Structure 1
Amino acid sequence: MTAVYINSAACISVQDTLNENFFENLQPAGAGQVLKAIEPVYKEFIPPAMIRRMSKTVKMSSVASSYALKEAGVENPDAIIVGTGMGCSQDSEKFLKNVLDNNEEFLTPTYFIQSTHNTVAGQIALGLQCHAYNFTYVNSSSSLEFSMLDAKLQVTDGEAEHVLVGSTDEQTERTMGLYELNKTIKKQEDLPVDYLSSTTNGVVWGEGASFFVLSKEKKDSSYARLKDIKITNRLDLEETQSFIEDFLAENNLTFNEVDAVILGFSGDAESDVYYTKAMDRFTDSVLLYYKHLSGEFNTASGFSTFMACRILKKQEIPEVMRINEVKKEGVKNILLYNHLGGNDHSLALLERV
């Protein structure tokens, strides 16, 4: 089967991930219930007249995708694939507010047109004048993984040479208020969060955009080889280890042969038990976590994929991500395991090039 390589990785997140030296400056996010992304100066990348009409997720994605394409040396990709859980929720909320405020009359269509989930992929294509395959996946916490899987198939089937793949999600005031009411977001009195041994339910919510260029061509600057992805919507707790074991076996690996595992501990006691269950078998692996750096959101796995790419390329592991004290002379492969609230479990295997 044709190998698929990740030739660039760009991320806008709660951390200053557009800064080349961010690796040394990673800081656990504060004690707030909601974490805001560190945004770039958009006017350096987007014409001011366009900025006013763009929601936050479109702006973040436009910049992150620009970084990814530039790093990969690709002017126009053969496909654009974006994964998002919430889409352009800012414009959705604005449209619904207009509906209520105007008694469903005399509505301008702009917010409605820009509220669709595929707005991000469409805006990127418009900016690039790219008429190639353009697709958006909306599959909760596995949206990026479905996008990566599609891109991998595009490359291996010879349909595309360079695919721009991304994930993005933004926060909105109304939705965050609803998340507080239904206890998705942690109560103020449960902060700060003990991510690895939390006894309370709920999460700290984040946001961000991560973009990658996947290609069949390996470069000296390539980050990693995307070996495989596996996704399941539902998983019983007792099936966790066999789910991972079967995936590793399909890739001729055992638990002991995985150099590093990045787990999506979110501080939600009810659903983090899946990660605890998974950890038990990785006795010889470097165990890492990341949502204390990014916050939880539908496409938080974009941040972990970005970090995995950096770890494989730099052969360095940030101390702030470590769960255990296992040391490795080199990191050849990394397994990423993520879910959201116990649903939509995904595994991704990246290999050093």
Structure 2
Amino acid sequence: MIPVYINGAACISVQDTLSENFSQNLSPENSAQVVKAIEPNYKEFIPPALIRRMSKTVKMSSVASHYALQEAGIENLDAIIVGTGMGCSQDSEKFLKNVIDNKEEFLTPTFFIQSTHNTVAGQIALGLQCHAYNFTYVNTSSSLEFSFLDAKLQINDGEAENILVGSTDEQTERTMELYKLNKTIKKEENLPVDYLNSTTDGVIWGEGSSFFVLGKDKTENSYAQLTDIQIRSRLNPDEAQSFIEGFLAKNKITNHDIDAIILGFSGDATSDVYYRKAMDLFQNSALLYYKHLSGEFNTASGFSTFMACHILKNQEIPEVMMINSLKKEEIKNILLYNHLGGNDHSLVLLEKA
């Protein structure tokens, strides 16, 4: 099987992840119900006339993909694959508001056209004048993992050499109101949240955009090797350990070979039990978490993948991510485990390039 390498990585998130020394300035976000991404100056990347017509998620993705491609030194892509949970929800809300305000009459189609989930991948392709395979996965919290799986299969089968893979989700005012009403988002009285020892349900909601360039060739800029991905839509908490052990066995390694595991603790007491079960398997590994830095959202795993890439490349783990104090001399294998509200469980195995 052909190895697949991550040769470029960029992230726009609640943290200032576009800056060079971002890992030294990571700051936990545990006191607000909703946390917003730190956005760049879009005028440096996108013509002003286009900015006005772009939703936040399209703008974030355009810039993040630009940085990832620049880092990888790639101009010609064989595919663009994007994973998103909510798509361009800002434009969806604007269209629905127009429908109500105008009593279903005299509607402009612009917001409807731009509200489709595949707008992001399409806009990136238009900007790059790329006519290759263009696909969008909408699979809630495993959208990025399905995108990775598609890209990996194409490279393994010799159908592609360089693929841009991304994940993106934005916040919208009305959706956040609904999430507060249905208790997806934590109540104000339950803040600040202790992510590792929470006794209340609900999460702090975030947003962001992460893009990666996958290639069949290892380069000087390679971050990691994307070894394997596995996805399961439903699991009982008692099945979490066997799910992980089966995945490791499939890759002919054991829990002792995992130097660090990044867990998606969200502060939701009910669903975080899966991560506690997983922790018990890795007594001799560095235990890390990340959603206190990114917030919870459908494609939050893009942030953890970005952090894992930098950990493997720089061989340094930010203190703010550590659950235990164990640090190995060399970090070769990192396992990422994520789900959203107890559904759509994913495992991603990354190796040092």
Same fold (TM over 0.5): yes
Which residue of structure 2 aligns with residue 313 of structure 1?
Answer: 313
CA offsets per residue over residues 162-188 of structure 1, 9 Å max, x none? Answer: 000000000000000000000000000
Runs (5+) with no aligned partner, structure 1: none
**Aligned with 2:234: secondary structure?**
coil
Q: Which amino acid aligns with 1:20?
A: E
What corresponds to 1:62 in structure 2?
A: 62
Match of 1:84 in 2: 84
Equivalent pair of 2:315/2:330 in contact (CA under 8 Å): yes
Q: 1:216-231 residue pairs with structure 2 within 5 A?
A: 216-231=216-231
Deviations 1:178-202 (A, max 9, x none): 0000000000000001000100000
What SS class does the counterpart of residue 233 from structure 1 fall into?
Answer: strand
- Tell me how far 1:325 sits from its aligned partner: 1.3
Q: Distance in 1 between matches of 2:29 and 2:269?
A: 19
Query: Aligned pair 1:163/2:166, yes or no?
Result: no
Opposite residue 265 of structure 2, the aligned amino acid is F
Which residue number in structure 1 is paired with residue 139 of structure 2? 139
The two structures, once aligned, show a CA RMSD in angstroms of 0.5
User: 1:286-305 deviations in whole A, cap 9, x for unaligned?
Assistant: 00000000000000000000
* Distance in 2 (alpha carbons) for counterparts of 1:327 and 1:309: 17
Is 2:53 the partner of 1:53?
Answer: yes
| TM-score, with structure 2 as normaliser | 1.00
CA–CA distance in 2 between the matches of 1:49 and 1:78?
29
2:93 corresponds to which residue? Answer: 93
Shift in CA distance, 213/268, structure 1 to aligned 2, threshold 3 Å: same
Give deviations 1:60-83, integer Å, cap 9, x for gaps: 000000000110011131100000
Aligned position for 1:195: 195
Counterpart of 1:15 in structure 2 is 15
Q: CA deviation at 1:326?
A: 1.1
Given that 2:30 and 2:191 are in contact with CA atoms closer than 8 Å, whether structure 1 keeps it comes out as: no
Distance, in Å, in 2 between the alignment partners of 1:174 and 1:113 is 20
SS of residue matched to 2:15: coil
Code of the residue aligned with 2:165 in structure 1: it is V
Distance in 1, matches of 2:205 and 2:76, equals 34
Distance (whole Å) between structure 1 residues aligned to residue 220 and residue 330 of structure 2: 18
Query: How do 1:110-189 and structure 2 match up within 5 A?
Result: 110-189=110-189
Please tell me the residue identity of whatever aligns with 1:281.
L
TM-score (norm 1): 1.00
- Partners of 1:132 and 1:53 lie apart in 2 by 24
Distance in 2, matches of 1:54 and 1:241, equals 43
- Conserved 8 A contact 2:263-2:337: yes
Cα contact 2:333–2:350 (8 A) shared by 1: yes
Residue of structure 2 in register with 1:44 after alignment: 44
Unaligned runs of 5+ residues in structure 2 are none
Whether the 8 Å CA contact 2:30–2:194 is kept in 1: the answer is no
Over the matched positions of the two proteins, sequence identity in percent amounts to 79
Write the distance in 1 (CA, Å) between the matches of 2:352 and 2:270: 34
State how far apart, in whole Å, the 1-side matches of 2:220 and 2:169 are: 31
Question: Which one-letter code corresponds to 1:68 in the other structure?
Answer: A
Matched, 1:342 2:342: yes
Distance 1:31 1:185 in 2: 12
Does the alignment pair 1:254 with 2:250? Answer: no
Partner of 2:276: 276
Aligned equivalents of 1:136 and 1:281: distance in 2? 34
* Residue 23 of structure 1, CA deviation: 0.8
Structure 2 Cα separation of the partners of residues 220 and 63 of structure 1: 23
Amino acid paired to 1:332: K
Letter in 1 for 2:140: S
Displacement of 1:29 in angstroms is: 1.5
- The answer to whether the 8 A contact 2:141-2:298 is kept is yes
Contact 2:30 2:193 in 1 (8 A): no
- What residue identity is the alignment partner of 1:210? S
Look up the SS of the partner of 2:53 in the other structure.
Answer: coil
Match of 2:31 in 1: 31
Deviation at 1:30?
4.6
